[in-house]
Structure 1
Amino acid sequence: MKSVLGFLSFVLIAGGITGLLHEWLGWFRLFGFLRYLVPDGYAVYANVVFVVLGIVLGLLADSLEQRRASS
């Protein structure tokens, strides 16, 4: 479970950051599949949400690992 959450966290953070770079600079199109999840005109807001959600999932994965280690 931790590895799945860690992978999703990485994809969301990397996709959100590259989406923001693409919106601001116009040339960075890596992880372009996340743009299909966003309605037109809301790309910056959605990419910020992707980054925040990725951070939250990463923290959740770490807390699950720590809880499992302490049990």
Structure 2
Amino acid sequence: MKKLIEAVGLVILLQGVGGLVHEWTGWLRLWTLARHMDLFGDRALFVSVVLIVTGFAIMIAPGAVRKKS
């Protein structure tokens, strides 16, 4: 389960990085999901930063939780 959560965090992190790369260079036009959602409008840069922070937090969360013995 830990690996699955880390993989989901990695995908979210990569979506955020891809969004930033698209905003700055114009590359990865078809790859980023935040750009294709009309809900976000012109806030794709902000959404990309939020995705990076969220993905990073999801990736480190399983390691921060300790099991009770």
**Which band: TM-score by shorter chain?**
0.7 to 0.9
Kept in 2: contact 1:22–1:29 (CA 8 A): yes
Aligned to 1:40: 41
TM-score scaled by structure 1?
0.77
> Aligned equivalents of 2:55 and 2:24: distance in 1?
20
Kept in 1: contact 2:34–2:40 (CA 8 A): no
| Unmatched segments (≥5 aa) in structure 2 | none
TM-score scaled by structure 2?
0.79
The structure with the greater share of residues assigned to helix is 1
The DSSP-based 3-state class of the residue aligned with 1:19 is: helix
The DSSP-based 3-state class of the residue aligned with 2:33 is: helix
RMSD: 2.0
The number of aligned residues is 68
| Unmatched segments (≥5 aa) in structure 1 | none
Kept in 2: contact 1:18–1:30 (CA 8 A): no
Runs of 4+ residues over 4 Å off in structure 1: none
Change (3 A) 1:30 1:13: farther
> Sequence identity of aligned pairs in percent?
31
Kept in 1: contact 2:34–2:44 (CA 8 A): no
